[in-house]
Structure 1
Amino acid sequence: MLTARTTAKETIRYEEVAEPVLESGRALVRVHNVTLCGTDLHIWEDDYPTDLPIIQGHEFSGVVEAISENTAGLRAGDRVAVSPMTYCGTCQPCRLGRHNVCRNIGCIGCYSDGALVELLSVPVDKLCKVPEELTLDLAAMGEPASIAMQAVNRGRPTAGETALVLGSGPIGLLATLYLTDLGVTVISADTEADRLDLARTFGAAETLLVDPAAGFPDAAQTARVDGLTEGYGPVLVIEATGVPSSLENAIRLVASAGRIVQVGISPRSASISMKDIPFKELDLMGSRNSLNLIPDGLALLARHPDQARALMTHRFGFEDLQQAYELMRSRTEKVGKVLIQMPAVQTATRTGSGREAVPAGASA
């Protein structure tokens, strides 16, 4: 089978290797679709705490080709997404039920070889059946949807509340979609007007265009937020940018007794007043990965296929992986989720099986 291995900084090498054999407790998945995120870009740029060479790909979907045990009704031919996270089950976080922050955490495609292969062996318990009404290309986004849902769940939202989502990239948009489903009024903020246009289609009741040079929010934006929150500010803020000033804004803008969830990741440091958190008695929480929420993420995408498809701005064939990474780091292109269509997609398209969506090279 054909694999794509990141062998060094910005270097992809395609290799022919033997197909995996079926082992007890595992399944063989024919990979159809892989979506790329910022972590994939950092690995390709050799700017991530993992060792090269590695086969990337941790957001993916495909079809079960063989399975060692009939677990949870799964069988050969089923369409699945795969949970890439692995954990030990014995460390303190795992014993607390918080295996998403396991001290020995692993991730297929980030710390071990992943899905940029034609056929992948995975543990049976990592398989998540794709809802009948969801196409396989959209199902590849079950993992990022689960991350957004984990962040929202950490914030303990209640219907009727008002939340501020800082950042309208894929995670911020999926958080907006989920919050709206839960009956929460969402204010979305971003530095890009086109992202805010998209946020409105994901359910945002109000959008705020951030001008980093002018200060945020300005007087008009403050009045709009006050109008939605009775002057108290949002009770929940989801910080989905990883920009230090954005966390500073979250602490400043959130209501007293409010909750802030930091899901955006950055190695940079924020400057936080030691006064605001205790004076407001804030709950400041981190969010990482998810607590096995990929089935919930797939259900969210199935309920909102138009919004899910709007996240996918570019599609590439497996052979054009280098071009896909170069696009992702572009400073001129508007890039959302980038989909890699594996060789199995071409076969499924020819035979009419698998319910594939748009061919590689076509616009989303």
Structure 2
Amino acid sequence: MLIARTVAKETIRYEDVPEPVLAPGHALVRVHNVTLCGTDLHIWEDDYPAGLPVIQGHEFAGIVEAIGTNGAGIRTGDRVAVSPMVYCGQCRPCRMGRFNVCENIGCIGCYSDGALVELVSVPVEKLCLVPDGVDLDLAALAEPASIAMQAVNRGRPSAGETALVLGSGPIGLLAALYLTDLGVRVVCADTEPDRLELAAKFGAVDTFQVDPRTEFPGAAQAARLDALTDLAGPELVIEATGVPSSLENAVRLVASAGRVVQVGISARMASIPVNAIPFKEIDLLGSRNSLNLIPAGLELLARHRDQARALVTHRFGFDSLQQAFELMRSRTEPVGKIVVDMPASSAACETDTPAFTGAKA
């Protein structure tokens, strides 16, 4: 079979290797679609802790081609998304049920070889059945959906509250979608107007364009936020950019006794007045991965297929991965989710959108 291995910085090598052998407790999945995210870009740029070489691809879906013992209700021919997270089950977080922050955490396609292959072997317990009516290219989005849902759940939202989502990339948009489902009023902020147009379709009742050169929110934006929150500020803020100033804004704007959830990732330093946390008695929470929420993510996508489809801005064939990563890095045009159509997908012709190499969706 053909695989794509990232062997060095910004270098992908295609190799012909033997297909994996079916092992007990595992399934062989014919990969149909892989979606790319910022983590994939960091790995390709050799700016990721696990290092290279590695076969990338951690957001993926396909069809079960063979299954070993202990099928757990999964059968040959089933359409599945795959949960890529690997955890030890023995460390303190795992024993607490917080395996999403396992001390020995791994991830298929990040810390170990992943889905940019024609056929992949994965443990059966990692397989999640795709609901009817959800195409496999959208099913690959269940992993980012699960991350967004974990962040929302960490914030303990209640119907009738107002939430501010900072960042309208895929995670922020999916968080807005889930919050809206839960009966929360959502306000989205981003620097890009095209993303804010999309946020309105994901349930945002108002959107704010951020100018990085000036204080956020501006006077008119602050008045609108005050009107939505009875001058108290949003009860919940989801920070989905990883930009230090955005976390600073989150702490400053959140209501007293409110919650701030940091899901955006960055190694940069933020500057927060220490007294802002005790004076307002806010909960400052981190969020990473998810607690096996990919099935719930699939259901979210099933309920909102039009919005899920709107996340996909570009498609590339398996033979055009280099161009896909170069587009992600250059940002010469708006990029949401990039779908990689694997050979099995092209052969099946099962997606709504034609799989043209390098085409916009």
What interval of TM-score do these two structures reach, taking the shorter chain for normalisation?
over 0.9
- 1:99 aligned onto 2:99: yes
Inter-partner Cα distance in structure 2 for 1:245 and 1:229: 22
Question: Which residue is 1:160 aligned to?
Answer: 160
Question: Which residue is 1:315 aligned to?
Answer: 315
Instruction: Give CA deviations for 1:184-238 in whole Å, capped at 9, x if unaligned.
Output: 0000000111110000000000101111112101111110000000000000000
* Matched letter for residue 339 of structure 1: V
Inter-partner Cα distance in structure 2 for 1:89 and 1:148: 23
TM alignment of 1:7-18, pairs within 5 A: 7-18=7-18
Question: Which residue is 1:359 aligned to?
Answer: 354
Question: Which residue is 2:123 aligned to?
Answer: 123
Q: CA deviation at 1:69?
A: 2.9
RMSD over aligned Cα atoms: 0.8
Q: CA deviation at 1:74?
A: 1.0
Residues 137 and 357, structure 1, Cα contact 8 Å, conserved in 2: no
Question: Which residue is 1:222 aligned to?
Answer: 222
Question: Which residue is 1:352 aligned to?
Answer: none
* Matched letter for residue 39 of structure 2: T
Question: Which residue is 1:33 aligned to?
Answer: 33
TM-score by length of 1: 0.98
| Percent identity between the two aligned chains | 75
Which sits farther off after the overlay, 71-80 or 237-246? 71-80
TM alignment of 1:125-140, pairs within 5 A: 125-140=125-140
Inter-partner Cα distance in structure 2 for 1:356 and 1:213: 42
* DSSP-derived class of the 2:49 partner: coil
Q: CA deviation at 1:51?
A: 1.9
TM alignment of 1:160-179, pairs within 5 A: 160-179=160-179
Question: Which residue is 2:212 aligned to?
Answer: 212
Q: Which runs of 5+ in 2 are unaligned?
A: none
The number of residue pairs the alignment matches comes to 359
Question: Which residue is 2:257 aligned to?
Answer: 257
Instruction: Give CA deviations for 1:279-317 in whole Å, capped at 9, x if unaligned.
Output: 000000000000000000000001001100000000000
Inter-partner Cα distance in structure 2 for 1:139 and 1:105: 24
Inter-partner Cα distance in structure 1 for 2:299 and 2:207: 26
TM alignment of 1:2-151, pairs within 5 A: 2-69=2-69, 71-151=71-151
* DSSP-derived class of the 1:359 partner: coil
TM-score by length of 2: 0.98
Question: Which residue is 1:183 aligned to?
Answer: 183
Inter-partner Cα distance in structure 1 for 2:329 and 2:51: 21
Instruction: Give CA deviations for 1:313-338 in whole Å, capped at 9, x if unaligned.
Output: 00000000000000001132100000
Q: Which runs of 5+ in 1 are unaligned?
A: 350-354
Question: Which residue is 1:296 aligned to?
Answer: 296
* Matched letter for residue 291 of structure 2: L
Residues 25 and 71, structure 2, Cα contact 8 Å, conserved in 1: no
* Matched letter for residue 363 of structure 1: K
Residues 139 and 301, structure 1, Cα contact 8 Å, conserved in 2: yes
Q: CA deviation at 1:357?
A: 2.5
Residues 176 and 203, structure 2, Cα contact 8 Å, conserved in 1: yes
Inter-partner Cα distance in structure 2 for 1:331 and 1:44: 15
* Matched letter for residue 321 of structure 1: L
Instruction: Give CA deviations for 1:23-62 in whole Å, capped at 9, x if unaligned.
Output: 0000000000000000000000001111211000000000
* Matched letter for residue 327 of structure 1: L
Instruction: Give CA deviations for 1:125-171 in whole Å, capped at 9, x if unaligned.
Output: 00000001111110000000000000000000000000000000000
* Matched letter for residue 335 of structure 1: V
Residues 72 and 124, structure 2, Cα contact 8 Å, conserved in 1: no
Question: Which residue is 2:245 aligned to?
Answer: 245
Q: CA deviation at 1:70?
A: 5.3
Inter-partner Cα distance in structure 1 for 2:252 and 2:174: 24
